[in-house]
Structure 1
C-alpha cells in the first residue's frame, strides 16, 4: 500500500501541474483578426488601383483611401497592443542567455501583429507622401507593396496562430 502511494502521489501531482498552462501570448480577439482581413483587402485593392503608377495631379482622388486605410491600421494596432500580454519569466531567461552569448535580442516585448501593423501604417504613410508630392511610379508601387506584404503576412500569421492555439 505504501509503495502504491509513492507511485500514485507523484503521478497525480505531475498530472495536476501539467494541467496548468502558462500563457505566453495575448488572447485571441476575433474583432482584431476580422479587422486585419478587411484591412488587407482594402490595402491590396489600393495597390491594384495604383499598380500602373500615379500622378500627383490626381492625388485628391486617392487621399481619402489613404486616410481610411492608415486610420484603420492605426486603430487595429492600438487594439492589438491593448490586449493583456502575460509576462513570461521563461522568455526573460532566454533573452538573458542570448545576451550573454552576444546574440542581439530583437524582441521588444511588443505584440508581433501590433508591431507589423505599425510598420504597414508607416509604409503607407510614406507612399501617400510621395504620391502627394510627385506621384508614384509602377516600380515604387511594387516596392511599397512588397514591404507591406511582408508585414501583412506577419500580422495575419500571428493572429491566426492565436486563434488556432485557442488563446
Structure 2
C-alpha cells in the first residue's frame, strides 16, 4: 500500500505539469492588426493609381503637380513602418535559439525588423528616389516601370506577411 501513494503523487504531478505547460504559448510573431492591413491596402491602391498616371513618363516641368502625391504616399508608408515596428518583438527561448542559429549562418536575426516593417521602409526609399529623379529630370517610362517593379516586390512582402498574421 505504501508504494501506491508515491505513484499517485507522481501521476498527479505529471498531469499538473502537463496542464501547466499546455496553457503556455510561445509567440514567434506579432499579433494581427487589422488597422495595418487596411492602411496598407489603401496605400497600395493609391500607389498603383499614381504609378499608372506616370506610366508614360513625366516631365520635370510638371513635377509640382505630383509633389503632394509623392509626399502623401511617403508619409503613408512611413506611418505603416512605424505601426509595424511599434509592436513588441517576442523574446523567448525559442526565438533566442532561432537567432543563434541564424547568427551561426551569418543571416540577419529575427529580432530585427518584422518583414513588413522592412518592406514599408524600402517602399519609402524607392518613392523618395523616384521623387528626386522626377524633380531633377522627369521620368521616362522605363524608369517608372523599374520603380514600379521594385515597389511591387515590397508591397507583396508587406501585405503577405501582415495577412499571414491573421491565424
TM range (shorter): 0.7 to 0.9
Residue 106 (str. 1) matches residue 105 (str. 2) = no
Residue 52 (str. 1) matches residue 53 (str. 2) = no
Shift of 1:88: 3.0
8 Å CA contact 2:102, 2:108 repeated in 1: no
Rounded to whole Å, the distance in 2 between the matches of 1:98 and 1:33 is 28
Distance 1:82 1:46, change over 3 A: same
Rounded to whole Å, the distance in 2 between the matches of 1:131 and 1:50 is 10
- Give the gaps of 5 or more residues in structure 2: none
How many residue pairs get aligned? The number is: 162
- Alignment-derived partner of residue 38 in structure 2: 34
Rounded to whole Å, the distance in 2 between the matches of 1:25 and 1:50 is 37
Residue 147 (str. 1) matches residue 158 (str. 2) = no
Rounded to whole Å, the distance in 2 between the matches of 1:147 and 1:87 is 32
Q: 1:121 aligns with which of 113, 120, 124?
A: 124
- Alignment-derived partner of residue 69 in structure 2: 65
TM-score, structure 1 normalization: 0.87
TM-score, structure 2 normalization: 0.87
Residue 94 (str. 1) matches residue 98 (str. 2) = yes
| SS of residue paired to 2:146 | helix
Larger radius of gyration: 2
- Give the gaps of 5 or more residues in structure 1: none
